[in-house]
Amino acid sequence: MTTIREMTPMAEFIETITVNVNIDLTPGALEAIVSNAKKVAGRNQKGHYRVDTADKVSEMISFFLMERDFETYVKDIGNYTGS
């Protein structure tokens, strides 16, 4: 795990930790991330895409968790039932 400082959508720095985990995604979500990342990055002169799609998956999930206040969600013990 690595401690880093990350910009939030509101342009303030917060401390985060990188945790490598396995998660379940729908094939459609993964396909959308890969497809859109390639569109945004474009191709280089050799016709290869200039984007690491695994990093983009991590970036998208991390941003979603920050934006949706995952910390508050996990602090609520009521969210731990039925898992």
Q: Which pLDDT value is given to residue 1? A: 47
Domain positions in the chain are 48-76
**Backbone dihedral angles phi then psi of residue 9, each to the nearest 5 degrees:** -55, -25
Cα pseudo-dihedral 72, 83, 22, 27, rounded to 10: -100
Of 33, 28, 24, 22, give the one whose Cα is nearest residue 63: 33
- Is the predicted pLDDT of residue 3 greater than 60, yes or no? no
| C-alpha to C-alpha distance for 71 and 83, rounded to whole angstroms | 17
What confidence tens digit (pLDDT) does each residue in 22-35 have?
Answer: 999 999 999 999 99
**Mean pLDDT estimate for the chain:** 87
